[in-house]
Structure 1
Amino acid sequence: MKPTLFDTDTLSFFLRNENKNEKKVTQKINEYLKEHEKFTISIITYYELLNGLYFGDSEERTTEIELLLNNHTILPLSKKAAQKAAQIYTKLRSEGNSIAHNDILIAATAIVENLVLITNNNKHFDRIEELKTENWTK
């Protein structure tokens, strides 16, 4: 399996692991972890996950997930990724095709780090030509 960057939706599936799609994602991530030992997320995904946890989960569950995430790789937003994100935003906006800033920052991180983005949000990410994506729910 290629080195990847996990989008927030995919990692949320992994953390919940309740329905058929979530179990499929969990199986794939476990296979990935056998080969790579750690998964990689962007600091934006970390932020989005914590937002959800702080808003809706118990303190115990939040602590459990934070400990799990801190054992994996969390990429900072680099200057190069910020520049790439600005280019992507400008291109999409000029085409009337804007997507959320957080998604653009996650995509830019994947591009500059040469990682495949694992996401279930192909509707947004497929608009970014140079981004390589995979959907592990299928």
Structure 2
Amino acid sequence: MNSSVFTVAANADAWVLIGPDQNGPIIRITSAMDDQSKMEFAQFGITAVPNRLVFRALEIVAASFFGPAPGMRLIFRDILAGSRAEARLTQYELIARHDHILNVIKLFGRSQGLRVCNSFLDIRRGSFDTLIDLA
């Protein structure tokens, strides 16, 4: 699978990768491409079980940025974005989304010689973020 199934765009605010159909994946990164300490994902629209398309998208991210790399923190902002239509989200839904992101990164990390050394949920201005430290 090559990168031609994806659309990649960049401007002063963000780098965006969009998958071949409405099911994604879609990834929007707002950190600098050469930032060696962190990668900040403003959108991580990967909801499917990790598959070849998801891993190819993450390979394109890795080829375009300094990371993911050892010693780096991955920050996934507002992991429940788009879920606000629900009046109340359960704790289960929050943990499930966090665990899904974490598992995608763990599986991809193994293929890149990386491992997760820490992960946690953080609340920031009323939204939930997933933070993952790599080794």
- Does the TM-score normalized on the shorter chain lie above 0.5? no
Q: Determine which structure has the larger helix proportion and give its number.
A: 1
**TM score, norm. by length of structure 1:** 0.29
Q: Determine which structure has the larger strand proportion and give its number.
A: 2
**TM score, norm. by length of structure 2:** 0.29
